[in-house]
Amino acid sequence: MKYVDFVEQSYKPKTTDLVCDFYVEPLGISLKEAAGGVAAESSVGTWTELTTIKPYVEKLAARVFSIEGNNIRIAYPIELFEQGNMPNILSSVAGNVFGLRALKNLKLTDIQLPKKLVHSFKGPKYGITGIRKLLNAHYRPLVGTIIKPKLGLKTVDHAKVAYDAWVGGCDVVKDDENLSSQSFNPFEARVVATLEKRDRAEEETGEKKVYMVNITSETEEMLKRAQFVVDHGGRYLMIDILTCGFSALQTLREHDFGLVIHAHRAGHAAFTKNPLHGISMKVIAKIARIIGVDQLHVGTVVGKMSETREEVNENCDALKTGLYDVKEVLPVASGGLYPTLVPALMDFFGKDFVIQAGGGIHGHTDGTVAGAKAMRQAVDASLQEVSLEEYAKSHKELQVALNLWK
């Protein structure tokens, strides 16, 4: 079979097929041959004709069934994949094809797994509905913060910053992506001290509070850390899903510690940022949802991250829509956020998301408590459809924030 033999535009995908969308730019060959090359190299073919191909093997060939401009769609027979094995699936459709010399650029822009493959994974334990029930916060965005500075604080100071954020009005406090168990803030001591502050904040505010401790590490160590969180009354954990890998994420989910899984996407831009080459964030979001995260960073539209409005919207759709009976995942907006941006955020995301601000809370000139109050006040004003400027007249923390961050 030659590359062009993998192009069959009259083919109608079966409900059992896995379907991938790619953007393709060929280098020295025709678009049709390039499209066939992607299908061949990610299924049963290679660069030359083979004497080892049998008739039954040909039935497993991926098929390019659509070519529109540089956008192609490929259907893969489900038999090509092992159920419950995401590394196998991605090594096939998003593996060696990216290194083909005959391709100038290749981007995996979407993926659709058939029902049987989707159901071979656990999916989210909580999702949006479960998280809202856990926090008893049903009708508003959740307000969260990241401890800043992200590295360097000793355990006692880390816990104090968390406490200040909670009593100021944050629902969520989380570690940043590169805090693990450094000597100045070891994991076990941090969990104990911070959860003690959480309990105190709950008593004082009458609200449920959660701490997302970063358990990112070698897989066996992550499992030990997750159990430590359970043993000390934690409700959440956080994992850097791309640097740990989808296999580690799946192992964590399969153990089912009963904790909400917050997924940080550290490193995603290495795959997603180039619009012509790599893997889209939408694909990463779908895969993470299928494996079983409960919430995931998706970009902000506003703030310091580079994704466009369309891209963030696609990321949110990947977490919330059309995946059989898999629970919806809670989107997290994070990156350069502060109270002034809340109306725009809520206009875009609605109410089902987490507003997660680091510097936009801890950078408040009156401190973390005031910064958290200002963010919560911005949410309250937007829910009441009152302008921030008007609401700030009777809420001094918000007024300071508006003066600080225009």
Q: Domain boundary residue among 89, 118, 147?
A: 118
CA-closest candidate to residue 352, choices 305, 317, 306: 317
Which among 117, 119, 115, 141 is positioned nearest to 128, based on CA atoms?
141
Residue labelled with tokens 């993470």: 288
Q: How far is 225 from 230, CA to CA, in rounded Å?
A: 9
Q: What is the pLDDT of residues 128-142, one digit of tens each?
A: 999 999 999 999 999
Asked whether residue 70 falls in the same domain as residue 214, the answer is no
Q: Binning pLDDT at 50, 70 and 90, where does residue 73 land? A: very high
User: CA-to-CA distance for 237 and 253, rounded, in angstroms?
Assistant: 11
| Domain boundary, last residue among 87, 118, 149 | 118
Q: ω before 149 within 30° of 0 (cis)?
A: yes
Tokens of 32: 């049709």
Give the DSSP letter of residue 6. G
CA-to-CA distance for 118 and 367, rounded, in angstroms?
Answer: 46
Q: Which of 264, 282, 286, 364 is catalytic?
A: 264
pLDDT at 307: 80
Whether residues 371 and 224 share a domain: the answer is yes
Provide the H-helix boundaries in 209-308: 219-231, 241-244, 246-255, 269-272, 281-291
Which amino acid is present at 213? V
Domain count, the chain: 2
Residue pointed to by tokens 């009441």: 384
Q: What pLDDT sits at residue 56?
A: 76
For the domain that residue 399 is a member of, what is the CATH number? 3.20.20.110
269 to 186, 277, 300: CA distances (angstroms)? 29, 11, 14
Structure tokens at 399: 């007024």
Average pLDDT over residues 385-391: 97
Q: Is the same domain home to 392 and 279?
A: yes
Measured distance CA(333)–CA(214) in Å, rounded? 18
Answer with the one of 118, 140, 160 that is the final residue of a domain. 118
Answer for the pair 78, 119: CB distance below 8 angstroms, yes or no: no
**Quick check: 406 pLDDT over 90?**
no
DSSP assigned state of 326: P
Task: Check whether residue 111 and residue 163 sit in a common domain.
Answer: no
Are 79 and 216 in the same domain?
A: no
Same domain as 241, residue 156? yes
How many beta carbons lie within 10 A of that of residue 71, not counting itself?
Answer: 15
In this structure, how many other beta carbons lie within 10 angstroms of the beta carbon of residue 378?
A: 30
CA angle 299, 301, 305 (to 5 degrees): 55
Q: Mark whether 166 and 285 lie in a shared domain.
A: yes
Cα–Cα distance for residue pair 94/97, rounded to 1 Å: 7
- Predicted pLDDT of residue 193: 98
Please tell me whether residue 121 adopts helix, strand or coil conformation.
coil
Beta partners for residue 146, in sequence order: 174
Active site residue 264: yes
Beta carbons within 8 Å of 143's beta carbon, 6+ residues apart:
169, 170, 171, 172, 354, 355, 372, 375, 376, 379
Q: In the structure, what pLDDT confidence band is assigned to residue 55 with cuts at 50, 70 and 90?
A: confident
How many CA atoms lie within 13 Å of 167's alpha carbon, on the beta-carbon side? 15
Query: What is the edge-to-edge ordering of all strands in the sheet holding 71-76?
Result: 63-68, 71-76, 18-26, 103-112, 278-279
Q: Which residue has the higher pLDDT, 45 or 141?
A: 141
With 90 as the cut, is the pLDDT of residue 179 above it? yes
Q: Please name which of 71, 98, 67, 95 lies closest in space to residue 81, comparing C-alpha atoms.
A: 95
Instruction: Look over the chain and give the mean of its residue pLDDT values, rounded to a whole number.
Output: 95
Specify whether 131 is located in the same domain as 108. no
Instruction: State the pLDDT at residue 305.
Output: 66
Domain that holds residue 101: 3-118
Residue 114 sits in the same domain as residue 133: no
Which DSSP string corresponds to 337-392? Answer: --GGGHHHHHHHHTTSSEEEESHHHHTSTT-HHHHHHHHHHHHHHHHTT--HHHHH
Q: Are 101 and 27 in contact (CB under 8 A)?
A: yes
Q: Which run of H or E residues covers position 144?
A: strand 142-146
What pLDDT digit, counting tens, does each position of 76-122 carry?
999 999 999 999 999 999 999 999 999 999 999 999 999 999 999 99
Same domain for 246 and 349, yes or no, is yes
pLDDT digits (tens, 9 = 90+) for 205-231: 999 999 999 999 999 999 999 999 999
Q: Is a pLDDT exceeding 80 seen at residue 177?
A: yes
Domain CATH code at residue 85: 3.30.70.150
The confidence band for 295, taking pLDDT boundaries of 50, 70 and 90, is very high
Q: Please report the sign of the dihedral spanned by the C-alpha atoms of residue 111, residue 214, residue 177, residue 329.
A: positive
- Give the angle 277-279-285 at the CA atoms, nearest 5°: 155
- pLDDT (0 to 100) of residue 303: 66
If pLDDT is split at 50, 70 and 90, which confidence band does 11 have? very high
Percent of the chain residues past pLDDT 70, beyond the cut: 99
Give mean pLDDT, residues 385-398.
98
User: Which residue matches tokens 């809670």?
Assistant: 330
pLDDT for residue 172 is more than 80: yes
Q: Are residues 221 and 285 in the same domain?
A: yes
Q: Which DSSP state fits 322?
A: -
Q: Are residues 301 and 174 in the same domain?
A: yes
